């Protein structure tokens, strides 16, 4: 039975919007519009594939961020999933229990209708699931301003996520909290695009620092999210474990060979350090991760 004290979160992703916006963020303004035909006709062509790869969305970063607010009750992603640029994400999304909502393919000059379908579903869900406490809207379009305002009037805490430079200021203002996708733990912002014909020279490079293994990445992301939530350097170890379990319900420190969560953290001293001098065990990012 769900804990009535635990916040319950619904997540809605305008996936087309995020994919296109991040592509433009990585490769330069209006790059997706210029490359749209190439992507549709030959997504596997070497240069096109490289540009798509450089602009890959970190689905896990978005979902883990949403989980930092509470238990994920439902997560929906809206897109034309027959499009190659979206289809490559299907297995990742399904693995994270995301409901894929199929939209009708749009003409090059038309909108895909994600905003209408997403808004209708969100309002319906709020009445169908009155225990929802948080609504996370992953998009950047000003068309979502009325939806954010309606959610707030219905008593929900509204969180917005959008790509820096592609998000309407009015949408950010309409939310209770708004964060850039670029700033989410685990996401590496692209280097500033060089002038002249940088776009023609190939995909933009990003500074990526991969943790040693997936569990390190999970621990680091949970720590960063909890530190941002509390605005504290040292956070409660139990809170980090609870968040980590919401991010990955299959996580088990015992399954990884550790007697306790404290032992698990100690085994990853390159990521985190413990303070066990009091009855309440605390943890923070190690010095080289700050």
**Per-residue pLDDT tens digits for 48-77:** 999 999 999 999 999 999 999 999 999 999
Q: What confidence score (pLDDT) does residue 1 get?
A: 39
| Token output for 142 | 């000003």
Instruction: Classify each residue of 43-52 as buried b or exposed e, where b means 16 or more C-beta atoms within 10 Å of its C-beta.
Output: eeeeebbebb
Q: Which residues of the chain fall below pLDDT 50?
A: 1-2, 108-110, 194-212
**Do 263 and 178 fall within a single domain?**
no
For residues 15 and 159, membership in a common domain is answered with yes
20 within 8 A of 139, measured Cβ to Cβ: no
Residue 233 domain flag: yes
Residues 48 and 116 in one domain: yes
pLDDT at 200: 42
What pLDDT digit, counting tens, does each position of 187-213 carry?
887 765 544 344 444 444 444 444 446
- Kindly state whether residue 54 falls inside one of the protein's structural domains: yes
20 burial level (CB within 10 Å; 0-12, 13-18, 19+): buried
- Claim to verify: residue 155 and residue 40 sit in the same structural domain: yes
Say if 52 falls within a structural domain: yes
Q: Give the number of domains in the chain.
A: 2
| pTM listed for this prediction | 0.77
User: Are 194 and 259 part of one and the same domain?
Assistant: no
What CATH number corresponds to the domain at position 242? 3.30.420.610
- Are β-strands 8-14 and 282-285 bridged in parallel, bridged antiparallel, or unpaired? unpaired
- Answer yes or no: is 3 within a domain: no
Asked if residue 192 belongs to a domain, the reply is yes
For residue 179, the enclosing domain spans: 8-201
């Amino acid at each position: 039975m769900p804990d009535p004290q635990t916040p319950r979160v619904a997540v809605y992703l305008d996936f087309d919007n995020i994919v296109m916006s991040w592509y433009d963020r990585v490769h330069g303004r209006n790059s997706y519009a210029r490359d749209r035909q190439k992507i549709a006709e030959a997504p596997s062509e070497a240069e096109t594939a490289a540009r798509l790869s450089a602009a890959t969305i970190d689905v896990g970063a978005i979902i883990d961020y949403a989980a930092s607010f509470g238990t994920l009750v439902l997560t929906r992603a809206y897109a034309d999933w027959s499009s190659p640029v979206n289809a490559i994400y299907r297995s990742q999304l399904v693995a994270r229990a995301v409901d894929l909502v199929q939209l009708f393919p749009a003409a090059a000059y038309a909108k895909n209708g994600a905003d209408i379908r997403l808004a209708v579903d969100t309002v319906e869900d709020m009445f169908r699931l009155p225990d929802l406490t948080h609504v996370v809207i992953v998009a950047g379009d000003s068309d979502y301003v009325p939806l954010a305002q309606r959610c707030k009037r219905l008593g929900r805490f509204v969180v917005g996520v959008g790509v820096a430079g592609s998000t309407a200021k009015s949408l950010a203002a309409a939310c209770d909290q708004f964060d850039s996708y670029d700033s989410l733990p685990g996401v590496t912002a692209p280097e500033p695009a060089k002038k002249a014909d940088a776009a023609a020279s190939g995909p933009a490079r990003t500074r990526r620092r991969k943790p040693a293994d997936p569990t390190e990445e999970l621990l680091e992301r949970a720590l960063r999210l909890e530190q941002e939530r509390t605005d504290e350097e040292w956070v409660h170890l139990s809170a980090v474990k609870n968040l980590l379990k919401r991010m990955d319900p299959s996580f088990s420190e015992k399954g990884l060979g550790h007697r306790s969560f404290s032992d698990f953290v100690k085994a990853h001293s390159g990521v985190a350090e413990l303070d066990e001098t009091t009855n309440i065990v605390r943890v923070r990012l190690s010095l080289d991760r700050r």
